Amino acid sequence: MSNFLAVDLGAESGRAILGSLADGRLEIAELHRFANTPVRIPAGLYWDTFRLFHEIQEGLRLAGRDRRVALDGVGIDTWGVDFGLIGADGGLVDNPRHYRDARNNAMLETTFERVPREEIFRHTGLQFMQFNSLFQLHAIQRSNPRALAAAEKMLWMPDLFNFWLTGVARAELTIASTSQMYNPVERRWATELLSSLDIPTSILPRIVQPGAFLGPLLPHVAEFAGLGETPVYATGCHDTASAVAAVPATGQDWCYISSGTWSLMGVELDEPVVTGRCLELTFTNEIGAEGKVRLLKNIAGLWLLQECRRAWALEGTEYSYATLAGMANAARPFAAQINPDAFLEPGRLPEKIAGYCRSTHQQPPADAAETARVILESLALRYRQVLEMLESMLGRRLGVIHIVGGGAKNSVLNQLVADATQRTVVAGPTEATAIGNVVIQAMGAGGLRGLAEARDVIRRSFPLTVVEPRSAAGWDAAYERFVSLPR
C-alpha cells in the first residue's frame, strides 16, 4: 500500500486528506480540516499565510504522530493567481494578497494602456480577470514598487508552501499557467510580455511538471510531524488541475465543471486554442496533468450562495447548504435571473442581488428561498451558455457534463444543470481535488502509469451519480431572458 497526503487549500477552507492506494483502488480519509479566513487591514485584504502553513504542518503531524503513517508523498494544491514575493533572506517581502482585494480594481485598463489586450492574449492565451497575477504585479508596481525591487523570487501559493516545506523554490506548471505570464503554445514564461511592462523576469522560478519530486521535508518539519525523510511532490498545484485529473471520464464527448467556490467549466485538449474566437468568448488555456490543456471559463460559482449564507448568519439566521438547496427546490421557478459573474466583491450579497433584479426590471427575490433558487437557476443557465460556446469553438457536440468537487453534492443544482442543458450529468467524485492531488503524486512516484490508469482507479473507487434531464419546459424562455442580461 502507498500512502500520500494531499493538502487541498480552497478559498473557504483547507483539508489534509490521506490517500491510500492498493490493488487498483484508492481510499481517502480526512485527517484535518480548517478555516481559510482572509484578514482585512487598512492596506487591503490578505491571506493569513503563516496560519495556513501552521495548519499544513498540523496535517502532517496528524499523519505522522497520531496515525503513525509512513507517507510516500506530500502534495499541496491551492487556488490560482495569488503569490508571495521572497527576499534574499528567504523571507516574505510582500504577504500574499487576496484575489478579491480592491487594489486590483482598474488594473486591466491601466495595463492595456501599456500593452494592448490582443497582444497579452497572443502571449498567454488566458482570459482577462483583474486579479490575474500579471495585473496584481502591475498593481504592486504602482502602489509598492519597493517590494518588487526587493524581491528575489515570486512564488505562487502552493509553491510558497512547498518552499517552506523543502527549501526548494520552483513554480509548478499548472499553477504558473494561471498567472497570465505563461505562454501555453511555446510552453515557457512570456518573458517578452513581462519586459514590456518593466516587470523583472529574474523573479520567475524554474518551472517543474506536475508530479515532479521537489525534495524531502526539511528536518525541522519532519521532526515536528514525526515523519522520516518524506518526499514532497509538485502535484497538480492548481486545485482545478488536480480536480480535472480526477474527472472519471471516458471517450471524447464530455466537458467538466469543477464546482465549488468557483465553477470552472471546460474541456481537456492536447493543444491550446489561442484564436480570435477564444479571445472574443473570454476562454482561458491552462495546463493540466500530462501536459493536457484545460480550455475553460471561470464562472462565479457557489461563492454566491456562501456569501448569502454569511449575510443571513450576520442577521441572525443560520442555514446549512443542504437546507438552502431544499428551500431552493421548493421555491417558485424562473422568478428572476442574474448574471453570476456580475458579483465579484464580498459583502451584502442578498441586497446586491435584489438591486440587480430591480435594475434589470425583474421582481427581486422575496426571501432566502427565492434568492437561493435564483442563484442556482442562474448558474445552470450560465453553464448552458458556456456549453454552447465550447461546442461552437470545437465544432462538435458534448453529450456528458461531469460535475466534480464539493458542488457535486448539490443534487438540486445537478438536476437544474441537466434540465437547463438537456445533457446527462455525472456527479462525483466530490473530493475530486484531493483525489487528483493524490493520483498525480502517485504518477510522479511511479505507482500509476498515467492519467488513463488514474481515472480507471477513480471509477472503481468512488460512487458516481448519473442525472438525466427532465422536461425542458420553461428553460428556453428563461435562457432567452438570461442571455439578454448585462454582462
Q: Can you give the residue ranges of every domain in the chain? A: 2-237, 238-428+464-487
- How far apart are alpha carbons 169 and 163 in whole angstroms? 5
Beta strand ranges found along 220-364 (DSSP E): 231-234, 254-259, 262-269, 284-287, 293-300
pLDDT of 487 reads 77
Domains 2-237 and 238-428+464-487 are alike in CATH topology? yes
Instruction: State the cell numbers at 223.
Output: 521532526
User: Which architecture, in CATH terms, is 2-237?
Assistant: 2-Layer Sandwich (3.30)
The one-character DSSP state at 232 is E
What is the spatial distance between Cα 288 and Cα 246, in angstroms, rounded to a whole number? 11
Residue 469 has what pLDDT? 98
Q: Which of 124, 225, 240 is nearest to 175 (CA)?
A: 240
> Would you give per-residue pLDDT tens digits along the chain (487 residues)?
999 999 999 988 999 999 999 999 999 999 999 999 999 999 999 999 999 999 999 999 999 999 999 999 999 999 999 999 999 999 999 899 999 999 999 999 999 999 999 999 999 999 999 999 999 999 999 889 999 999 999 999 999 999 999 999 999 999 999 999 999 999 999 999 999 999 999 999 999 999 999 999 999 999 999 999 999 999 999 999 999 999 999 988 999 999 998 999 999 999 999 999 999 999 999 999 999 999 999 999 999 999 999 999 999 999 999 999 999 999 999 999 999 999 988 899 999 999 999 999 999 999 999 999 999 999 999 999 999 999 999 999 999 999 999 999 999 999 999 999 999 999 999 999 999 999 999 999 999 999 999 999 999 999 999 999 999 999 999 999 999 998 7
Distance CA(303)–CA(268), nearest Å, equals 24
Report the alpha-carbon distance of residue 199 to residue 44 in Å, rounded: 22
Residue 378, helix vs strand vs coil = helix
Euclidean distance between the first and the last CA atom of the chain, given in angstroms as a whole number: 51
Amino acid at site 33:
R
Give the rounded distance of the alpha carbon of 367 from its chain centre. 30
Q: How far apart are CA 196 and CA 72, in angstroms?
A: 43
Report the C-alpha gap between 281 and 220 in whole angstroms: 49
Q: What is the pLDDT of residue 81?
A: 97
**CA distances (Å), 476 to each of 143, 337, 396, 418, 422, in order?**
47, 13, 21, 13, 11
379: three-class secondary structure by DSSP: helix
Pairwise CA distance, residues 119 & 211, whole Å: 32
Just give the CATH number of 238-428+464-487: 3.30.420.40
Cell numbers at 76, concatenated: 499541496
Question: Which of 428, 430, 448, 452 has the alpha carbon at shortest distance from 438?
Answer: 448
Question: Is the bond preceding 429 in cis, omega lying within 30 degrees of 0?
Answer: yes
Catalytic residues: 239
